Amino acid sequence: MNILLLAGSPSAPSRSTRLLYHVGERLALLGHRYAKLNVRDLPAQSLLHADFGDVALKAAREQVAAANAVVIATPVYKAAYSGILKAFLDLLPQDGLKGKLVLPLATGGSQSHMLALDYGLRPVLSALDARHVLPSIYATEQQIAWSEEAGLTIDEVIARRVSDGVENLSASLIALQDTALSGFESIPFSSVRCSV
Q: Which pTM was predicted?
A: 0.88
The fraction of the chain above a pLDDT of 90, given in percent, is 73
Distance CA 50, CA 66 (A): 21
Q: How many CA atoms lie within 13 A of 3 on its CB side?
A: 29
Q: Average pLDDT of the chain?
A: 90
Helix, strand, coil percent values for the chain (each to nearest 5): 45, 25, 30
pLDDT for the residue numbered 114: 75
Instruction: Give the mean pLDDT of 118-130.
Output: 93
Domains and CATH numbers, the chain: 2-191 (3.40.50.360)
Q: Pseudo-torsion of CA 160, 173, 64, 82, nearest 10°?
A: -20
Residue 94 · residue 128 · CB < 8 Å: yes
